[in-house]
Structure 1
Amino acid sequence: MLSVVLAFILGMFAVRVVQASDPYVKTVLSLNGDSVQGHAIFQINCAGCHGLEAAGRVGPSLQGVSKHKSRYGLIHQVISGDTPPMPKFQPSTQEMADLLSYLETL
């Protein structure tokens, strides 16, 4: 059991190191996001599923999401397309920084 827990922890660490070394992620995290711009990006690209106030519709509520997911996790969620029906979304680095800033206000 201990080996399983240790493997999980090491795996999570490896994922974080890979994510932190990704040039896109590194750039996003180095930028200052504008939550007002992020809200506009959200309204155009995300509100159809997550609701105008991010309270959920087809997609889950995003209220408090930054308390449950790291900035790396949020970036991955947005750009990966790993959780259908959420589509892969490829915002510019500044747009992603803005979107992160908005999500952190929820």
Structure 2
Amino acid sequence: MDTSLPKENANRRAIVVALAVLLVSFLVFVGIYQIRHSDPYVQSVLSLGGDASRGQVIFQQNCSVCHGLNADGRVGPSLHHVASRKSRIGLIHQVTSGKTPPMPQFQPTAEDMADLLEYLESL
């Protein structure tokens, strides 16, 4: 008795499901990418050159209570090498969203955010 036909159908189904999952994942990724890159605030931040010295002052005034005066961590994690773990857009969303409790939502001006980004990238 030949059992290759049911096995072949199961293999085809598995391939179709895998392709469907890949397609949906790709579409979700593209959608998120489009949303993030079409955000006017993000675009204005990315169009500016930041000043790390000003960014350090902004950090010390707003972030150092949790992340430490030298960004080496306290309540919040150390931010040294954070730019190697998060993209510029990811950092902007992390700072402005407040979606990681207990981190509060912070809405700096585009210029202040560009300065803060420059400082974070220097750590």
TM normalised by structure 2 equals 0.80
Larger radius of gyration: 2
Q: Find the counterpart in structure 2 of residue 100 from structure 1.
A: 117
The alpha-carbon deviation at position 17 of structure 1 amounts to 1.3
Cα distance change of structure 1 residues 49 and 2 upon mapping to structure 2, 3 Å threshold: farther
Q: Find the counterpart in structure 1 of residue 84 from structure 2.
A: 67
What is the alpha-carbon distance in structure 2 between the residues aligned to residue 10 and residue 53 of structure 1?
A: 40
What is the alpha-carbon distance in structure 2 between the residues aligned to residue 67 and residue 85 of structure 1?
A: 23
- Higher RCO (CA 8 Å, separation ≥ 6 residues): 1
Which of the numbers 66, 75, 79 marks the counterpart of 1:58? Answer: 75
Cα distance change of structure 1 residues 53 and 4 upon mapping to structure 2, 3 Å threshold: farther
Return the letter of the residue paired with 2:61: I
Q: RMSD value over aligned CA atoms? A: 1.3
- Structure 1 contact 16–72 (Cα < 8 Å) conserved: no
Unaligned runs of 5+ in 2: 1-17
For these two proteins, the number of residue pairs brought into alignment is 106
Task: Give the structure with the larger helix fraction.
Answer: 2
What is the alpha-carbon distance in structure 2 between the residues aligned to residue 3 and residue 54 of structure 1?
A: 43
Unaligned runs of 5+ in 1: none
What is the alpha-carbon distance in structure 2 between the residues aligned to residue 49 and residue 39 of structure 1?
A: 15
Where does structure 1 differ by over 6 angstroms across 4 or more consecutive aligned residues? none
Provide, for residues 52-106 of structure 1, a one-character-per-residue CA deviation record: whole Å limited to 9, x for no partner. Answer: 1111100011110100101110000000011110000000000000000000001
SS in 2 for 1:99: helix
What is the alpha-carbon distance in structure 1 between the residues aligned to residue 115 and residue 89 of structure 2?
A: 14
Provide, for residues 27-55 of structure 1, a one-character-per-residue CA deviation record: whole Å limited to 9, x for no partner. Answer: 00000000000000000000000011111
